[in-house]
Structure 1
Amino acid sequence: MSNKSEHSLFSFSLTSSIWKYRELIFKMTHREIIGRYRGSIMGLAWSFFNPLLMLTVYTFVFSVVFKAKWGASLNGSRGEFAVILFAGMIIFNIFSECINRAPNLMIANTNYVKKVVFPLEIIPLIALGNALFHALISFSILLIAQLIIMGEIPWTILALPIVLIPFIAALMGVCWILAAAGVYMRDLSQLMGIATTVLMFTSPLFFPISALPEALQPYLSLNPLAYFIEETRAVIVFGELPSLKNFILASVLSLVVLECGFTFFQKTRKGFADVL
């Protein structure tokens, strides 16, 4: 009975905390986005030019230098490979930025940690909000490029939130775990750098899963990013709706990770001030 009550308590605490501090989350996220480019000549415009430059580089390298084509190519147009690659890279970049920053979030915000009344659980949310803001700009550039290069944007893009919501939920859970563990394990940030590099080359970023031998496909599918990268491409580029079965499975697992992450963070936060 006590376990069930505790589980319900954490579920309520998670949702109520986000709702209660929603204005603070928004203001601090806005401040972090602006602060990221403070002092630069172009300022916030860099958030637009960075992904635009990357898309240009992808288009040149893969369509001009390597003359690469995707395994499930739609029409073989010049920059098609770059568009497909860029769609997957947006998902990976959200993941990479959050995962690499998470272990140092509490250390970088020691002044908040030592304030008894400050809601520390929102700090990883602010980092995620910053990553999502830049991803939104990248998605906008992707859609413009897709319209120019491929000539159309499929209506299935309306299903993109169905793919992203479980992704964001799971990522938030992982960030809470890493933010808490990073206080006690200072080497964790170095390990995450290695882990994201490994995941980049074992994710279906530069190739579709279907391009691998059938014997290897199930193993690559175990990569937590594989589902989200493949489904994002499906709804944005290939005009395919997400699999209902896979969506339900991803949603259930994401909610489990989300709650486990929040629970772990809340149970370990009491020792943050002593360690820092």
Structure 2
Amino acid sequence: MTANHAASIVVAPTLRDHVIGPFSAMGRYRSLTLELAKRDVLGRYRGASFGLLWSLISPFLMLCVYTFAFGFLMKAKWPEVAGGVHHYSIILFIGLIVHGFFAECLVRAPNLVTGNISFVKRVVFPLEILPWPAVFSALFHAGMNLIVFALLRLALEGTISWTMIFLPVVLLPLVFVTLGVCWIFAALGVYLRDISQVTGVLATAMLFLSSAMIPVQTLPPSYRVLFELNPLTFIINQARGVALWGNMPDWSGLALYALGGLALMYLGYGWFVTTKRGFADVL
């Protein structure tokens, strides 16, 4: 039996498999998932003189560029900046952290399978866990960015909001959404190779059509709807609320967002598991 024919053999999943399937990476395949995530993080900085320090240097340099490029124009639109409550860089950075996490996963998703062809040929390798290491890697970089954010706020404002402890709760629903998107685009990337050219543009559009760059409340109502439909806008607003304004999370809003995220996650996982039967034939 050839590897391609063996890879096409599929055991009918049970109801339990459908329920816990998306989380199997943190159950049955936890060690493998964490090892892949570790390899992904370390591999990115292999050979670099500063190594993992680049995970702290890069976001700071990125913030400098965005602040210089947009600070003089955009900061006047933020009431908190005009009132001297917060520095523009701080407000901008928290939005970039949320967008950066999602964008990193979105851009990488179409190549998760096509970039690991050797895994496809292995019957025993669980391809469905591939989005998890990518998400963990993005979460690692988001965590490094938050460290830079905290240090920057201490330097500029001399304080940190205790409500920052709720940031993991705020980001969790976005993790569900991101996993669902990764599974969908990872499968599409096998059959439609051009999809990788679209995700970069989509990620950029989601940045400039979200509250990361501009407060939505200052926009005309006709444009505001477009920004509010962006799934990042709500999470960015919540992240700013707990990290900057000192507000408690919108528990009901986050609960609804989490339910929608879980629905998308299961939909994406189901799509991936269904379509992966043909991966070996295509690749």
TM-score with structure 1 length normalisation? 0.91
The residue type paired with residue 32 of structure 2 is: L
8 Å contact 1:167–1:254 — kept in the other structure? yes
Distance 1:73 1:268 in 2: 48
What number of residue pairs does the alignment pair up?
Answer: 271
Tell me which of 35, 38, 63 is aligned to 1:27.
Answer: 35
Matched, 1:162 2:169: yes
Question: In the alignment, what sits opposite 2:125?
Answer: 118
2:201 to 194, 198, 201: 194
Question: In 2, are the aligned partners of 1:203 and 1:225 still within 8 Å (CA)?
Answer: yes
Partner of 1:184: 191
Q: Which amino acid letter does the alignment assign opposite residue 50 of structure 1?
A: S
- Whether contact under 8 Å (2:22, 2:265) holds in the other structure is no
| Alignment equivalent of 1:246, drawn from 253, 256, 260 | 253
* Residue 7 of structure 2: aligned partner: none
Q: Corresponding residue for 1:257? A: 264
Secondary structure of 1:204's counterpart equals coil
Q: Distance in 2 between matches of 1:127 and 1:167?
A: 14
Alignment deviations for residues 127-176 of structure 1 (CA, whole Å, 9 cap, x no partner):
11111111110000001111221222112212212211100011011101
Secondary structure of the residue aligned to 2:79 is coil
- Which residue in 2 is equivalent to 1:97? 104
Q: Deviations over 1:201-260 (max 9, x none)?
A: 111121111111234323321111111111111110111122222112101100101111
TM-score, structure 2 as length reference: 0.89
Amino acid at match of 2:109: A
Structure 2 residue runs of 5 or longer lacking an equivalent are: 1-12
Q: Conserved in 1, the CA contact under 8 Å of 2:184 and 2:271?
A: yes
Contact 2:161 2:242 in 1 (8 A): yes
CA distance in 1, matches of 2:264, 2:187: 14
Q: CA RMSD in A?
A: 2.1
Quote the residue 2:51 is aligned against: 43
Quote how far apart the aligned CAs of 1:68 are.
Answer: 2.4
Residues 90, 135 of structure 1: 8 Å contact kept: yes
Distance (Å, rounded) in 2 between the aligned partners of 1:42 and 1:88:
26
Taking the aligned partners of 1:199 and 1:35, their CA distance within structure 2 comes to 27
Extract unaligned runs of 5+ from structure 1: none
Describe the superposition over 1:64-112 as per-residue Cα deviations: whole angstroms up to 9, x where unpaired.
Answer: x558245230674597111110100011111111101100111110001
Give the deviation of 1:12 after TM superposition.
Answer: 2.3
Identity %: 39
- The match for 1:221 is 228
Distance in 1 of aligned mates of 2:202 and 2:142: 21
Q: Is the 8 A contact 1:74 1:238 kept in 2?
A: no
1-side partners of 2:222 and 2:111: how far apart? 39
Question: C-alpha separation between the residues in 1 aligned to 2:69 and 2:86?
Answer: 10
